Amino acid sequence: MLDYHLHLWPHTTAQTPVALEQVAAYCERAQAAGVVEVALTEHLFRFVQADRVLRDFWADDRVPPALRPSMAEYWSFHATADLDHYVGTVLEARRQGLPVVLGLEVDYYRGRMEEVASLLEGYPFDVLLGSVHWIDGWRFDDLDDALSMAEWSVREVDSCWDAYTTALEELAATRACDVLAHPDVIKVAGHRPGQPKEWWDRIADAASRNRLATEVSSAGWRKPAGEQYPADGLLSRLAARGVPFTTASDAHRLEHVADRCEDLRALLRAAGVDRLTAFRRRQAHTVPLGPVAP
C-alpha cells in the first residue's frame, strides 16, 4: 500500500515548521499500517514562491466580488512556507532512509498553469497531484467557512458539478500533474446530483485521455460526503478504462496518516485492481497492492 497524499500542516494554522522528526513520525505510523511508501504533497499555495506568482488570481471578473475578500484572506493566511526548505527537508529525510517521496498538491488556476509549470521547473519532484479546490474563487470544500458553505444554498447542484468537472478536465489537459487527487471532491459537503453518471464518465475520460493516475482516498469518510473518493460508480469507470491508481489518506495531522488503508485495498481488489502506481522523478512504476488483511 501507498499513502501518496500527506500534508504537514492543518488548514487551521499558519505556522509552517518543517522538521525531520515530523516526517519520521508520519513514516513510522504509515509503516505500522502496512504502507510501504509515503508522498509528502503540501499545497502549492502554502509557499511564498507561489504567492509571488499567483497572488490575486481571484481578481478575475468571473469571481463574484463578494467572494474576493474571503479568498484574499484565506490565501494570505496560508502562503507562509518556503518551498526550498520544504524540498530540502523531504530530500534529507529520504537520504536518511525514510520511505518518502517528494510531492506537491497543485491546485488549478485557470489561465495560469504555464506560470505554475515555470515555477516548479527545476525542482526534483517525484509526484505532482492535481486538484480543484475552488470554482472561480468559491472554496466549495471549505467546510469551516460559513460564506463558502452558504453558496451551496444559492447554486444548483448540477451546475456546481458541471463547473467542477470542467475545471478538472482543463487541469488534466495541462499535463501539469501526474495524479488526480480526490477526483469527486465536489461532493465533500454532501451535495450530489440525482444522476452523477455524466460527470463520472467525464472525469474518468479526462484521466484516461491524459494518461493520469487517480487516487483512491479515505478522506471522504471523514467528511459529510461519508464515502471514499472516488465513489464506487466512478471507481468502476476508472478501472474499466485502465486508469492506474494510487492510495491516499489526505492526512493533515499524524493520526490520519494511512487512515483506513485496508478499506481502500478491499475496494480496489473488488474493482479488479491488483497493482498501484508509484513515482520517481515523475516517472511511473507499479507496486503490488497486496492481499486484503484477514
Q: In whole angstroms, what separates CA 220 from the centre of its chain? A: 12
Q: What is the pLDDT of residue 149?
A: 96
> Which residues, including other chains, have CB under 8 Å from residue 71's CB and lie 6 or more apart?
58, 63, 134, 137, 139
Region of poorest pLDDT, from 31-40, 64-73, 175-184: 64-73
Q: What is the pLDDT of residue 200?
A: 98
Pairwise CA distance, residues 111 & 116, whole Å: 10
Q: What is the pLDDT of residue 62?
A: 82
Per-residue confidence band for 226, with pLDDT thresholds at 50, 70 and 90: very high
Q: Report residue 136 as a C-alpha cell.
A: 472561480
Over residues 150-176, the mean pLDDT reads 97
Q: What is the pLDDT of residue 254?
A: 96
Q: What is the pLDDT of residue 154?
A: 96
pLDDT tens string 55-97? 999 887 788 888 999 999 999 999 999 999 999 999 999 999 9
Q: What is the pLDDT of residue 259?
A: 98
Over residues 203-227, the mean pLDDT reads 98
Question: What mean pLDDT, rounded, does the chain reach?
Answer: 95
CATH 3.20.20.140, domain 2-288, yes or no: yes
Candidates 160, 16, 149; CA nearest to 70 is: 149
Q: What is the pLDDT of residue 267?
A: 97
Q: At what angle do helices 157-174 and 197-209 cross, to 10 degrees?
A: 0
Region of poorest pLDDT, from 12-21, 144-153, 236-245: 12-21
Q: What is the pLDDT of residue 64?
A: 86
Q: Between β-strands 127-131 and 275-280, what pairing exists: parallel, antiparallel or unpaired?
A: unpaired
Alpha helices in the chain (DSSP H): 20-32, 48-54, 68-78, 83-95, 113-120, 146-150, 157-174, 197-209, 232-240, 261-270
Beta bridge partners of 247: 216
Name which residue leads in pLDDT, 124 or 63.
124
Q: What is the pLDDT of residue 293?
A: 66
Name which residue leads in pLDDT, 136 or 99.
99
Q: What is residue 233's DSSP assignment?
A: H
Pairwise CA distance, residues 152 & 66, whole Å: 15
pLDDT over 70 percentage in the chain: 99
Over residues 199-209, the mean pLDDT reads 98
Q: What is the pLDDT of residue 87?
A: 97
pLDDT tens string 1-28? 999 999 999 999 887 788 899 999 999 9
Over residues 183-197, the mean pLDDT reads 97
pTM equals 0.96
pLDDT tens string 242-276? 999 999 999 999 999 999 999 999 999 999 999 99
Is pLDDT at 292 greater than 90 in this prediction?
A: no
Candidates 217, 78, 235, 70; CA nearest to 137 is: 70
Q: What is the pLDDT of residue 294?
A: 60
